[in-house]
Structure 1
Amino acid sequence: MTGLATPSPIAELHGIDRVRFDAEVRPAAQPVVLRGLAADWPAVRAARTSDEALVDYLKTFSHAEPVGAIVGPPEIEGRFFYQPDMTALNFTRGRSPLDPFLDRLLRDRTVPQPYAMAVQSIPAPDLLPGFAEAQGIDLVDTQVVPRLWLGNAIRVATHYDLMENIAVVIAGRRRFTLFPPDQVANLYMGPYELTPAGTPVSMVDPDSPDLERYPRFAQAMDNAWEATLEPGDALYIPFHWWHAVASLAPVNMLCNYWWDPAPQGMANPYDALLLALFSLRTLPEDQRRVWRTMFDHLVFRTEGDPAAHLPHHVRGVLGEADRDGLEQMRAALRQSLNRS
């Protein structure tokens, strides 16, 4: 990436505990590498012994039921993305028992141009029953279910999660390149309707960016952060930080913990965004400015509580959100959408 800024190294912490994580790390809303967080996990110790030792260890938990997997041909060079015309993805989805998948990972280590293979984001109890109980972290609540990722040398397009995330490398090495949420305009977001990773991805290949087509990506790189993790290392990725992930070894495994500290049971902000695309985006510019002011005042509260001057019993939707109020708003919204 000649001519582009070198990403800043992500800050590192050692020996972090839950108290410090909640008091310092999460409020800062900055990514942090947690070196050696899972160094004592049995799976990490097996991976550091050899790929074969890791596979043998995983097979003590595996089962014969098929699990979801994705496969891409050698010509994609490990990058799960779109076909050139963007009407389809460049990989296929299928199902396979885990043991043959693991055996294929070992066999393909010597193949010059192997198929890209991955088992992605499967809850640990479903993929490897008992695995989560044998290793874990104390930085998140115990009800947070870890998810497992397995594959060879693949690249995941720059994307964001609508969750807090701690990603723990078990085997192989992974390079994470992160961009703050405010870089969205410089990352050239892809379509919402068809995505390789759930949420929209950046159209720019960070390893080989086309700056003639995506010139603002140079500004994104001015604000990029990067770290390479070894087995046992972890990375805290705050809510909505964009991240590209490159697995750098023929056998890779990651465990991640997603959680959402927002109040549960409320309306989905993602739905509000999609509705805004249809209801606000096409308005005249002067009207959009007015609505931006109203959102800043009422929703984002840039000037404090907009209902502080009202008695509590008449604040209505401007007061504290609760389930009853939410149901009333949902009913009003359904009625409004049915009329439009």
Structure 2
Amino acid sequence: MTPIRELRDLSPAAFRDEVVERYEPVVIRGAAADWPLAAAGSAPGSAGAYLRRFDRGSTAEAFVGQSGMGGRYFYTADMRGFNFERRKGPLAALLATLEQIHDSDDPPSIYAGALDADATLPGLSDANPMPLVEGLDASPRLWIGNASIVSIHFDASDNVAVVAGGRRRFTLFPPDQVHNLYVGPLDHNMAGQPASMVELNNPDFDRYPRFREALAAARVAELEPGDAIFIPALWWHQVDALSRFNLLMNYWWADSPDMPARMEAMVHAILAVSHLSEPRREAWRAMFDTFAFRRHGHPAEHLPPEHRRVLGEPSPGWRAYLKHYLLRGLQRP
């Protein structure tokens, strides 16, 4: 696989202009080399002691799987459920458990993800700042666990992920490889986003032959404590936490207020278009290409601005008008 491009010593302005706008993944080596969390995060004892300084009795939900699952959080064989259960309890108990099982040869899999860092451990993100995301309205999230595999999935938001403890391998696939990833159910998945059905570390090419094409386009990097990676929205990625104890802090941000509606827009298109005959789907593809994807320029440039209405420029009033317009349509039988 192709190594992910690497940079060092980026300013926030250079990060926005040279990385985010380019819409390609980048590893930023040493982006958090001065974090106290990264210095403490190499072992559960020292990391736990550091995290407990900020704990005010918070609870955390964790995915817990049985010994022998290899850390891969996934569906059960019949796809009706998952091979883990969700357990909620004190964060202090989670840290203590990870310390107790650290040296086990076949421990249960434990993974607490996307914890709101500011709510769970007040002051942690202030003590470990990430200048690259200044001005992006990015909220820090904390990920704690032992060795794990988060299967190939995508996020709707841009993302900076910082390894604070352990070692992680990131394998990324460009958005145009989605048809080669054999994506599972859109509405029944582990954590809100659909995931590939292919086991990246042991792919079944007889069942998923097009995955070879995805692998040819994949990019990969391994990160140590203090390293960061930028993962653009809709870039599919698998994250392998390779150490017996792992910590990560990540930052998601939306590129516009409309970001949450995009998946819903696609599902609405599935409802309205996907069952049509091929010639009719192609006709609607031309409509989408013109009005939504603007393949031929602005579709209303020939109209005065005051008459563009749905095709007008984004603004709070424009968004409110479109939502009202859509709600009227959705209420039809």
Please state which band the TM-score falls in when normalised by the shorter chain: over 0.9
1:80 aligns with 2:73: yes
SS at match of 1:327: helix
Q: d(CA) in 2 for partners of 1:17 and 1:334?
A: 43
Task: Please list the CA deviations of residues 271-330 of structure 1 after superposition, one character each: whole Å capped at 9, or x if unmatched.
Answer: 110101110001121111111101111111111111111112211212213333333333
Contact 2:154-2:234 at 8 Å conserved across structures: yes
Q: d(CA) in 2 for partners of 1:318 and 1:145?
A: 32
Where does residue 25 of structure 1 map in the other structure?
Answer: 19
Equivalent of residue 173 in structure 1, options 157, 162, 167: 167
Deviation at 1:135, TM superposition (A): 0.7
Where does residue 286 of structure 2 map in the other structure?
Answer: 293
1:336 aligns with 2:329: yes
Deviation at 1:266, TM superposition (A): 7.5
Q: d(CA) in 1 for partners of 2:146 and 2:2?
A: 27
Task: Please list the CA deviations of residues 185-205 of structure 1 after superposition, one character each: whole Å capped at 9, or x if unmatched.
Answer: 110000012111311000001
Equivalent of residue 42 in structure 1, options 33, 36, 43: 36
1:184 aligns with 2:178: yes
SS at match of 1:139: helix
1:90 aligns with 2:66: no
Question: Normalising to structure 1: TM-score of the pair?
Answer: 0.94
User: Unaligned regions of 5+ residues in structure 1, if any?
Assistant: 1-6
Where does residue 154 of structure 1 map in the other structure?
Answer: 148
Where does residue 4 of structure 1 map in the other structure?
Answer: none
Q: Give % identity.
A: 42
Q: d(CA) in 2 for partners of 1:165 and 1:333?
A: 30
Contact 2:157-2:259 at 8 Å conserved across structures: no
Where does residue 316 of structure 2 map in the other structure?
Answer: 323
Q: d(CA) in 1 for partners of 2:57 and 2:113?
A: 18
1:12 aligns with 2:6: yes
1:309 aligns with 2:302: yes
Q: d(CA) in 2 for partners of 1:43 and 1:284?
A: 56
Deviation at 1:64, TM superposition (A): 2.3
Query: What letter matches 2:176 in structure 1?
Result: D
Query: What letter matches 1:278 in structure 2?
Result: L
Comparing 199-208 and 139-148, the one that deviates more: 139-148
Pair 103,141 (structure 1): closer, same or farther in 2 beyond 3 Å:
same
Equivalent of residue 198 in structure 2, options 196, 199, 204: 204
Pair 267,175 (structure 1): closer, same or farther in 2 beyond 3 Å:
closer
1:239 aligns with 2:242: no
Contact 1:266-1:323 at 8 Å conserved across structures: no
CA RMSD of aligned residues (A): 1.4
Query: What letter matches 1:173 in structure 2?
Result: R
Deviation at 1:126, TM superposition (A): 1.8
Deviation at 1:119, TM superposition (A): 1.0
SS at match of 1:45: helix
Pair 197,288 (structure 1): closer, same or farther in 2 beyond 3 Å:
same
Where does residue 122 of structure 1 map in the other structure?
Answer: 115
**Paired residues, what number?**
332
Query: What letter matches 2:82 in structure 1?
Result: L
Contact 1:172-1:231 at 8 Å conserved across structures: yes
Q: d(CA) in 2 for partners of 1:27 and 1:280?
A: 32
Question: Normalising to structure 2: TM-score of the pair?
Answer: 0.96
Query: What letter matches 1:303 in structure 2?
Result: H
Contact 2:44-2:95 at 8 Å conserved across structures: no
Task: Please list the CA deviations of residues 153-201 of structure 1 after superposition, one character each: whole Å capped at 9, or x if unmatched.
Answer: 0110100000000000000000000000000011000001211131100
The runs of 4+ residues in structure 1 deviating greater than 4 Å are none
1:99 aligns with 2:128: no
SS at match of 1:53: helix
Q: d(CA) in 1 for partners of 2:230 and 2:87?
A: 30
Task: Please list the CA deviations of residues 25-59 of structure 1 after superposition, one character each: whole Å capped at 9, or x if unmatched.
Answer: 112211111000001001111124x4321111111
Contact 1:265-1:323 at 8 Å conserved across structures: no
Query: What letter matches 1:169 in structure 2?
Result: V
1:133 aligns with 2:126: yes
Query: What letter matches 1:34 in structure 2?
Result: I
